[in-house]
Amino acid sequence: MTMGRNLRPGRGRGRRATPSISPAQILTAVTVLAVFIAAVAIGGVLGSVVVMALAAAAGALLVLRWNQIPAPLRLMRLSAVVAAVLVACSLFSRA
């Protein structure tokens, strides 16, 4: 019996499984995006507090999973947190 017969395409030795996105992840991303857009539309102190809360939550999740996240993805997530903080500061300064 050869080992090659039991292998399915994409599941061979040295191949990584393709990650899939769950419906819960999509719902979470859409919810965060909707809250961010609403906070920017509201503006002022309230909008800046909401955006800062989103940034704090994203930063906390980033810190908790730092070792499990690949380096390039860490940089992208960190830049998103920094961008959210900058947006919150901008909203606060316009209030």
Region 5-21 average pLDDT:
68
Residue spans of the domains in the chain: they are 43-95
CB 55 within 8 A of CB 83: no
Q: What is the pLDDT of residues 21-71, one digit of tens each?
A: 899 999 999 999 999 999 999 999 999 999 999 999 999 999 999 999 999
CA-only gyration radius of the chain, Å:
20
What's the pLDDT score for residue 12? Answer: 59
CB 51 within 8 A of CB 84: yes
- The rounded distance, in Å, linking the Cα atoms of 9 and 18 is 12
CB 91 within 8 A of CB 44: yes
Say whether pLDDT at 10 is over 60: no
